[in-house]
Amino acid sequence: MKSLTLSLQVVGPLFLLMAVGFFLRRIDMLDGQTTARMSTVTFRIFLSTQTFSNIYSCNLAQVWDGREVLINIFLMALNFIIALAAAAFLQKDKKRKASLVQGMFQNSYITFGVPMVSAAYGSGSTGMVSMMTALIVPLKNLIIVADMSAACSKKKSAVDLALNVLKNPFFLGGALGFAVNLLGIKLPVIVEQTVSNLAKAATPMALLLLGASLSFKSMKDYKKDIIWGVLIKMLLMPAALLPLAVAFGLRGSSLMSTLIMLAAPPATSAHIIAKEMGADSELASQLTVIGSAVSSPTLFVLIFVLKYLNYL
- The average pLDDT across 122-128 equals 64
pLDDT at 155 over 60: no
Tell which wins on pLDDT, 197 or 178. Answer: 197
pLDDT recorded at residue 298 = 86
Q: What distance in Å separates the CA atoms of residue 193 and residue 195, rounded to the nearest whole number?
A: 5
Q: Which long-range contacts (CB under 8 A, 24 or more apart) does 181-188 make?
A: 181/55, 181/56, 181/58, 181/60, 181/134, 182/60, 187/56
Sign of torsion over alpha carbons 144, 77, 108, 212: positive
Residues 98, 99, 105, 108: what is their CA dihedral angle, to the nearest 10 degrees?
A: 150
Q: What is the largest CA-CA distance in the chain?
A: 53
- The average pLDDT across 26-52 equals 85
At 260-280, the pLDDT tens digits run 899 988 887 788 888 888 899
Q: Roughly what angle, to the nearest 10 degrees, separates helices 252-263 and 237-247?
A: 160
* Ranges of H-type helices in the chain: 2-26, 32-41, 48-56, 60-63, 66-90, 94-105, 109-121, 127-152, 158-166, 169-182, 189-213, 223-231, 237-247, 252-263, 270-277, 281-308
Q: What number of residues does the chain have?
A: 312
Q: What distance in Å separates the CA atoms of residue 69 and residue 63, rounded to the nearest whole number?
A: 10
Q: In the chain, what are the domains?
A: 2-308 (1.20.1530.20)
pLDDT recorded at residue 147 = 87
- The average pLDDT across 148-157 equals 72
Q: What distance in Å separates the CA atoms of residue 287 and residue 270, rounded to the nearest whole number?
A: 9
- The average pLDDT across 116-120 equals 72
- The average pLDDT across 204-221 equals 78
pLDDT recorded at residue 292 = 81
Q: pLDDT confidence of 6, banded at 50, 70, 90?
A: low
pLDDT recorded at residue 259 = 92
pLDDT recorded at residue 270 = 85
- Are 270 and 284 within 8 A, CB to CB? yes
Q: With pLDDT > 70 as the criterion, what percentage of the chain qualifies? A: 88
- The average pLDDT across 76-87 equals 95
105-109, 149-153, 254-258: which has the minimum mean pLDDT? 149-153
- Are 221 and 96 within 8 A, CB to CB? no
Average pLDDT, the chain: 83
- The most confident of the ranges 4-8, 150-154, 248-252, 273-277 is 248-252
- Are 59 and 181 within 8 A, CB to CB? no
Classified as helix, coil or strand, 16 is helix
CA distances from 146 to 33, 152, 281 (A): 27, 10, 16
Name which of 148, 134, 135, 105 is nearest 266 in CA terms: 105
CA distances from 139 to 114, 146, 303, 310 (A): 18, 11, 25, 31
